[in-house]
Every structure is written in structure tokens, then in C-alpha cells.
Chain A
Amino acid sequence: MIVGAGAGGAVAAWALVRQGVRVRLLETGPRFDSARYATHDQAWELDPSRFDAVALDPERRSYESAPGEALDPDFNHLGSRTLTLIPGNLSKRLPFVWSRVLGVGGSTLHYQGEAHRFPAHTFRMKTERGVAADWPIRYDELAPYYERVERLLDVAGDPGNPFKPERGSFPHPAHPRSDASLHLAEGARRLGWQSLPNTLAVLRKPRPDRAACHYCNGCIRGCMVGAKSSVDVAVLPDAEASGLLEVVTGFHASRLETSAEGDITGVIGFDESGNEQRHRARSVVLAAGAIETPRLLLNSAGGSHPHGVGNASGQVGLRLMESLYLRRGVVFDRPLESWVGLPIDARIWDWNGAAGPDEQPSGFVLGQLAGWFEGPAGFAREGVAGFGMAHREEMARSFGAGFELLGVAEQLPRAENHVALSAQTDRFGVPLARVETRLDRIDLEVLSTMWKRLGELGEAAGVERFVGQISAYDVPAATHVGGTCRMGNTREDSVVDAFGAVHGHPNLVIADASVLVTQGAGDSPSLTIQALALRAAEALADRGRRSEV
């Protein structure tokens, strides 16, 4: 039984059926029809995401957030302010918002296809940087699983990245880069930095059942042609074809079923109509994400586990890591057709590996993104101020010359940032998750460093004007959220072991971002989640063969 059909759950399902295990995959959301995505629709900017209609449905609310903290005025330069979206001068940080996708495919439906291997040092942060904790596994142990998932997802990339561990070739060569990306690369070169092709789970060549990428820039709205390797098109069809996988949608898991002895025996939840359902299972894989998975464990309290399953030491829900990001709008003085290309076709990894010149323990990566400025309507509102004839002239002159500079850093795990249970309940009467997270000075300092570096990058590339910015300083984001059931060697400081099994529950495995110990220095976590899920699922199947579960 697997709960959650996103990045980790789908790969776990794929791995288990290949081992001959019969699997039922439970998903809260629907199975989306890719033909109905708004990616190529003439009105795509009017209806940019079909996913939000489900994820933001108040009926499906599963969490609440603590009020945001007062902002540190020393870092006011990081404040979000755009021409229309965010007026600026916020006095408090906005409450945390979980930017998830509910549906078969999960967040891979709206991700940009980034398929990064975490840098080697991130697995040994305590040893090498004196912060956070070491993982119970090393990079070298995970590398074979990274490689297999890269093949599964048809990842394209350039192996010659000097900031990453040495590796063999990718399944496919890197994608061609857009004019905007190449323009920015020239700016990076002037600074002595390297803008390198991104590694992307996006098809360069067609497969019999999927088209190659046509560089429409619309990954975040869902790929209509199946070029992006979201797990609904790249992983699950093969697993379903085996006849061993059953996908159940519209199921809202509420708690784990346990025996009198405390063994996990299944999953209890509700269908869309509110009817309670029980799914018995020999073993359960939780892959519901870094908020929902701890919520499920905590809501399963009772009997031999009064504080929740796997929570004997009170570790479930602790050390939530949110996304430390910064986006700065830039407009250049030449046409760059910034609406064309893969959204993030390059990255600057100079601060992703070894400690950078700023000697901050948290790494980060930089890059560019069409973002707000991708379409004419977005640029008209966020790229050009005012209205009337001057606005029209500026639109005609500079549309396509603007995009966003993007930086993503890692947030170091801290116990006070956590997920607990709320006094509020959902429509089924199940307690919501309550998310409490705030930034520490070290977070603000790494954000500030990114702000400076992005400024330098823009200047070096010949920016005509900076237009707006938005950052985690006052607008939190959950893009790379993780860490709430981290892996470790002991139950005193972690929830799962090195193979994702919950301490004391060998037939309960977690295969999502909850288990991450650190955040990979700004790299996107999906490939690591999937490599860990593959490893955990195969270990679970091994335990099953040995009759240990």
C-alpha cells in the first residue's frame, strides 16, 4: 500500500511491481487529463494552472499556518515588492503556504523537470561544515540509484559540471539553451562564474508514447505532450501495464491502522463522499509529502504509540526545511524572446559544492526563469509600470527582453521549524497539520548573499532595469519543503533508518521529502526523493522476501 502518487510514491510503486509485489496506490487528488492543460491554450495566462483549482480548494484544506514573524529591518533590501502582485513594505512575514499539487503525479506535474543529484558534501554537513547533521548514507551509496532514476526519467544533461562529483554520461545530452539563458551566461562569464546546462527530466527525442520537448516554456502548467517526465507519464504507465498496480484516486488517508501490538496493518481514510474506507496491507509506504506524511503519523496516535506512529522520541514533524528563494525581475535592452525555451535550462552552481567565498555553510544555486514575464499579460502587469500610450510603447519595445533571476538556497534544519497537529479539523473531522516556520539570521544572510550575487549577475549581463523582486524573506514558499521525518541511525534523532523504514516499524516506509536530512545546497530535491524511494522500495521488497515484514 502506498499513500501518495507523487515523485516518491510513483517510483516506489514502479520498483515494487518490478519485484513482483502487488501494489495499491492511494491518491487524494484526481488523475488529470494532460490534453486539458492550459499550456498551449490561447488564454493560458487567464487560467495558468488547472492544478491550483484542486490544491487550493478550501474543501481540501489539510493544514494551517502560524502567523508570520516580524521582519528583521536589517534585511529590508530583501523585501518582496512587485509592480502589482506585492505592494511591498510588509511588516510581517506572510504565513507559510504549501504550494502542492494534489493528483496522480503530484508536484512533478508542475515542476520544471530539474533532476539534480545533491552534492556529496550535503550528506556530511555536520562533519564537513559543522552544521545540521550527517545523513546515514553517503553520496556514493545513493549514486547507483540516482543513475537508475535518471535512466527511468530520460534525464538530459552535461556530465562536465566541475561543481558536481565525477560521473558518467547522462542518458541524453543537454538541451539547447534559449537566447535569454545564453545572454545571462555571458554575464556570468564576465564575473568568472559558470552558467552550465541544467540537468532536466525532459525528453530530447520522442518515445513511442511521448513527444520530444518543443520548448514552449510551459512546464509549470503541465506538459500537454508528455515531454516532461512527470511520474504520471514516465513512471506509472509502465507499472500499471504490469497488472500489479491499482491506482485509487479521491482517497483521503486519515490514519494508519495498527494491531494491538502496534504493527501497521493498513490505512484508514475517506472517499470523496465522506465514507470511511479501510485498506489492509502487509506493508505501507507513505509518500504524501513533508506536511501530510507527519500529519498522518501524528493522527495515528493510540494504543502502544500515544504520541503518533514512529514518534516515541518526539521527532515526527521536526526540522521542517522550507524554500529559501529569491527572484529579481530584470529587463534588458535587446530582444531575447524570453518566452521560448525550457524554463530553467541552465544553472550557476559555483556556490553549490565547496564552501564559497562568502564562507556560509548553506549553499545555493542561481539561474534564470521566465516567471512573471513569460507572457504578454504577465509582462504588462509586472514588467511595465503605468498605463496609456507610454505603457504601450514600452510593451512593444521590451516585451521578450525581461525575465527573472532566480536563486535557491538551502535552509539548515532546526527543530523549532516544525509540523504539529492543529486544533482545527478538515471536512472529515481529522485534525489539520499546523505549520510553524520562521527564518533564522543565517537564512537571512544567505538570502542576502544571493541578492547581491543576482545583482552582480544582472549588471554584468547589461541589465537595463531591475523590476520587482520576491523572496522568502517575507513570502515563504514550500517548493523544496522537506525534513519532517528525517532519516538517521537512531530513533532519538530521526524517524526513519537509512532505508526509509520507520524506526520500530519495518513494514512502514517513508518515500518522500520528509526523510531529507539536508536540502542539497539549493539543488532541486525530486531526483533525490526518487532515488531514495527506489532504494527504500527495493529494501522493503527484500524484507518481504525474507518474511521480515
Chain B
Amino acid sequence: MTNQKRPKISTNGDGPKVPRRRILVVMGALLAGFAVGVWRLMHPPRPSGELGELEISFAKEAARSSFESTIFPPDSVPLLLAVADVIVPRFGEHPGAGEFKLLPRLERCLIASPEGPEVFRRHWPLFEREIRQRVPFRAGRTDSEVLHEVLAQWHRDYATERDPSLPASYFEGLRRNVLLAYYTSPAGWASVGYPGPAHASPDALGDSLG
């Protein structure tokens, strides 16, 4: 992430000086990460439909898509899709929100939203930063349980915070629009047994959003 680059750590005197305590913290984090990796090998992901460690293929999905968001930077898309998948997770045979072509549809929802796309564009960096400060997230993987807890707290906070620059309000807007984007899709319809409006013609049923 371009806006999340950390300063390089150097111990040979060429780069900025880093306190010994910080080096230990970093090494500890690396060891913890290794331990988590081992734990993951021993405890494979739970069956779909439950919260748990989530294998995220969103980066690949985003890479395959030719769609370029006018709201979210390209390197933010994996995190955005991870959030979307926590909002609407996989449910049995039904995919989560992050697993189908969400972006074009979500973009359309945000553009038509009462807040307007500019609010989502402007405050995304702060929202992303707030998440990254709270949730371990490395290339292609995140901890959906932790992410869910963070988002749930913001969801609870929303009752008292209405400022769109705050993560709680930002998440509420995102939540509403991810639900709208997902449940207007064929996948969303199928997941609740909605056949669509009566007598819809096949032509009209074509997904105009691709």
C-alpha cells in the first residue's frame, strides 16, 4: 500500500537509526507471524459459512477485473473486498460479497448514494489506516474475526457518531452500499430465494453491470 509504507529498518548505519527495543519488537512480531503460520497449517480454515481465518483471493479477482474504480485506489481493493466479505460472508454455496464482481456495482451504488462518491473517496485513506492499525493484514490474507470485531465496534459506535470523516460513519455508509450491491445481484437473489420481479423478460434480466 503506497500510503502505508513503513520506514526501512537498517542496522548498518546507512539508514535512520532504529532503537534496539524496536528491533526486538519487530523480530518478535515476525516470530509471532511464523507461529501463526504454523498454527494455520495445523488448523485449516473452518467450513464456509463460519467466521474464521479467511483465504482471500480478492487480489487475484481485482487483478483479473478490468474495472478501474474512481473511488478506491487499486492497491486498496483487496482490503475493500475483505471488508465487503465480512459484511456479507460466504454462506453455504452462496458466495460472499467480495467473491463476485462487486466493484462496478458498488461503485454505482456509492455514486448514487446520498453521501455521494466524493465522501467515500476522500475519507477512504483514513478508514483504511484505521483498519490497518487494528487488524493484521498482509498480502492476500487477513484475520476476518478480528476485522469483524473492529467493524462491529464501529457499527455500535455509529449510533452516536455521524461524522462521515469518522470510521464508524464511513463503515455505516460502506455497509449499506455493500448490502445494496450484493442483494441486487443474481447471487444475492439466489441466497434468499428471490426469483426477481414477476414476468421479467430474459433480456431485461441481463446484468447490465457485467
In whole angstroms, what is the CA distance A218 to B197 when docked?
Answer: 8
As a 0/1 sequence over residues 187 to 228 of chain A, the CB contacts with chain B under 8 angstroms (1 = contact) are 000000000000000000000000000111110000001000
B78 on the A face (CB < 8 A): no
Interface residues of A (CB under 8 A from B): 39-47, 84, 87, 214-218, 225, 339-340, 375-377, 379-381, 386-389, 391-393, 395-396, 399-400
Chain B: minimal CB distance from A262 (Å)? 47
A residues within 8 A CB of B182? 377, 380
Chain A: minimal CB distance from B7 (Å)? 35
A residues within 8 A CB of B87? 387-388, 391
Let me know if B179 and A377 touch, CB within 8 A: yes
B residues within 8 A CB of A380? 179-180, 182-183, 188
A residues within 8 A CB of B196? 40, 42
Among B109, B198, B207, the residue within 8 A (CB) of A42 is B207
Let me know if A389 and B204 touch, CB within 8 A: no
Chain A: minimal CB distance from B96 (Å)? 9
Among B155, B175, B183, B200, the residue within 8 A (CB) of A45 is B183
Among B51, B175, B186, B201, the residue within 8 A (CB) of A389 is B51
Among A43, A379, A387, the residue within 8 A (CB) of B175 is A387
Let me know if A400 and B193 touch, CB within 8 A: yes
Chain A: minimal CB distance from B143 (Å)? 14
6 contacts between A and B (CB under 8 A): A42-B184, A42-B196, A42-B208, A87-B162, A215-B198, A392-B91
In whole angstroms, what is the CA distance A389 to B85 when docked?
Answer: 10
What residue of chain B has the Cβ atom nearest to residue A393's Cβ? B91
Among B112, B179, B182, B191, find the residue whose CB has the most chain A CB atoms closer than 10 A. B179
Let me know if A381 and B49 touch, CB within 8 A: no
In whole angstroms, what is the CA distance A43 to B182 when docked?
Answer: 11
In whole angstroms, what is the CA distance A387 to B88 when docked?
Answer: 7
Let me know if A42 and B206 touch, CB within 8 A: yes
Chain B: minimal CB distance from A212 (Å)? 11
Let me know if B201 and A40 touch, CB within 8 A: yes
Contact (A395, B198) CB under 8 Å given A377-B179, A387-B87, A388-B148: no
B residues within 8 A CB of A339? 194, 197
What residue of chain B has the Cβ atom nearest to residue A377's Cβ? B183
In whole angstroms, what is the CA distance A46 to B182 when docked?
Answer: 11
What residue of chain A has the Cβ atom nearest to residue B188's Cβ? A376
Contact (A46, B184) CB under 8 Å given A41-B208, A381-B176, A387-B155: yes
Let me know if B180 and A39 touch, CB within 8 A: no
Chain A: minimal CB distance from B166 (Å)? 15
Interface residue ranges of B116-160 to A (CB < 8 Å): 148, 151-152, 155, 159
A residues within 8 A CB of B209? 43
